Chains A and B, each alone.
Chain A
Amino acid sequence: MKSSLVRQALILAALALVPGFVEAIYFRDKISWQSPVPASEMVTAAQARAWGSNAIWVDARPDAEFASDHVPGAVSLNEDRWNELLPQVLAVWSPEKKVVVYCSSLSCNASREVARRLRKEAQLANVFVLKGGWEEWLKSKK
């Protein structure tokens, strides 16, 4: 009786794995939003604040959210108007500076995408994504 129950439990567990395998095969190409950002490319609000004037804060949220409020001195760079906004970031950038990109829970993975493009397309070094984004920065202000 016991061995029969164990066997059935194993069969159920094996069946439960099937959809997981199917999904893994279907989404086999790596999608950036699913890949976690390496820890070395993330920065906490406290660390970024400690960089002081050596940090350039880049706001990856949509225009309306940036207009409503943002980190003091932050520069707006979102993918809706990438070509128009990018020169503003490059104008304040210099090789010794660290770039801290943030978004909010409403703008999902925008900071990762903006950071990725700054590294890959503009080939900037020292580009970091703010852990917890705008909400975390607000908390750290208190």
Chain B
Amino acid sequence: MKTNIFAFSLSIVICVSAHAELKWDQTMVELHPAASDKQAVAHFKYQNTGTKPVRFKSVRASCGCTAAQSQKEEVPPGEKGEVTATFNIGERTGTQVKTVNVETDDPQHTTTVLTLKAVIPQQLEITPTFVFWGQGEAPKPKTIVVRAAKEFPVKHLKVTSSSPDFQTKVEETGNGQFKIDIEPKETSRQIASTLTIQPEDSQKIFYATARITNAPAIQ
């Protein structure tokens, strides 16, 4: 029994030491970019704690919106370095998770998956971003609700319609919430408008669309 436990412990020790060549500080990085940021960059630091050099075979991001690269192709024993993952935020919202697959010639640890989690702040939540009327439908107003995030207090909203065929009315309903009523002048022809929604004292513009579709009115 004692021999078995010793053999088991020894095998664990051997396995752990064999895996320990390229040691990552962390394989998951959570980023909180500012609302105005265009990119979020994660730095995955590592050290070669083994006795042999480690060569990177490939460093690939899971999708086109993220670029990943390694500082060096080969890491001598004892050396440190990092893999950077640059995530282009674009017009993405909410929590985004992107991965980077790192392949090395370390036979015990050929693939490492690095994870970048970006929590993109959302200044305004607009529901819905699209309102429509069927052709011939009564031109009654439809409502878009706008909620400002707690960390982005908004006192006033400016709403502009790209088409004079739609009228808009903004009303503050309290607790950082607004109601936008959109009313078409008529619904007899197909028309559309882009509504620009801009909080006071902010450069950022948000959008919604209003449209008269070619579908018959739902009575």
Q: Using a CB–CB distance below 8 Å, which chain A residues touch chain B? A: 4, 8, 12, 29, 31-34, 61-62, 65, 78-83, 86-87, 90-91, 93-96, 106-110, 113, 117, 121-124
A83–B215 contact, CB under 8 A?
A: no
B128–A31 contact, CB under 8 A?
A: no
Q: Using a CB–CB distance below 8 Å, which chain B residues touch chain A? A: 1, 4, 8, 62-65, 88, 90-93, 95, 97-98, 117, 126-130, 132, 134, 192, 194, 206-207, 209, 211, 213-215, 218
Complex contacts, B127 vs chain A, CB 8 Å: 121, 123
> Could you tell me the distance in whole angstroms from the C-beta of B55 to the nearest C-beta in chain A?
25
Complex contacts, A31 vs chain B, CB 8 Å: 95, 97, 117
B194–A79 contact, CB under 8 A?
A: no
A62, A78, A79, A86: the one within 8 Å of B209 (CB): A86
Measured CA separation A86–B91 after assembly (Å): 11
A93–B97 contact, CB under 8 A?
A: no
A93–B213 contact, CB under 8 A?
A: yes
Number of A-B contacts (CB under 8 A): 82
Measured CA separation A121–B145 after assembly (Å): 11
Could you list 30 examples of A-B contacts with CB < 8 Å? Answer: A8-B4, A8-B8, A29-B95, A34-B97, A62-B64, A65-B64, A80-B65, A80-B88, A80-B91, A81-B91, A83-B91, A86-B129, A87-B194, A87-B207, A87-B209, A90-B130, A90-B192, A95-B213, A95-B218, A106-B64, A107-B63, A107-B65, A108-B63, A110-B63, A121-B127, A122-B129, A122-B130, A122-B209, A123-B127, A123-B128
Identify the closest chain A residue to B196 (Cβ).
A83
A94–B213 contact, CB under 8 A?
A: yes
Given contacts A31-B95, A87-B192, A123-B130, contact A80 B90 (CB under 8 A): yes
Identify the closest chain B residue to A63 (Cβ).
B64
Complex contacts, A108 vs chain B, CB 8 Å: 62-63, 98
> Could you tell me the distance in whole angstroms from the C-beta of A119 to the nearest C-beta in chain B?
10
Which of A8, A95, A108, A123 gathers the greatest number of chain B CB atoms within 10 Å? A108
Complex contacts, A62 vs chain B, CB 8 Å: 64-65
Complex contacts, A79 vs chain B, CB 8 Å: 65, 90-92
Identify the closest chain A residue to B1 (Cβ).
A4
A106–B63 contact, CB under 8 A?
A: yes
Can you list the 3 inter-chain pairs with the closest CB atoms, starting with the nearest? A108-B63, A80-B90, A82-B91
Measured CA separation A79–B98 after assembly (Å): 14
> Could you tell me the distance in whole angstroms from the C-beta of B149 to the nearest C-beta in chain A?
15
> Could you tell me the distance in whole angstroms from the C-beta of B145 to the nearest C-beta in chain A?
12
Given contacts A95-B213, A95-B215, contact A33 B97 (CB under 8 A): yes
Complex contacts, A65 vs chain B, CB 8 Å: 64
A32, A96, A109, A121: the one within 8 Å of B215 (CB): A96
Complex contacts, A61 vs chain B, CB 8 Å: 64
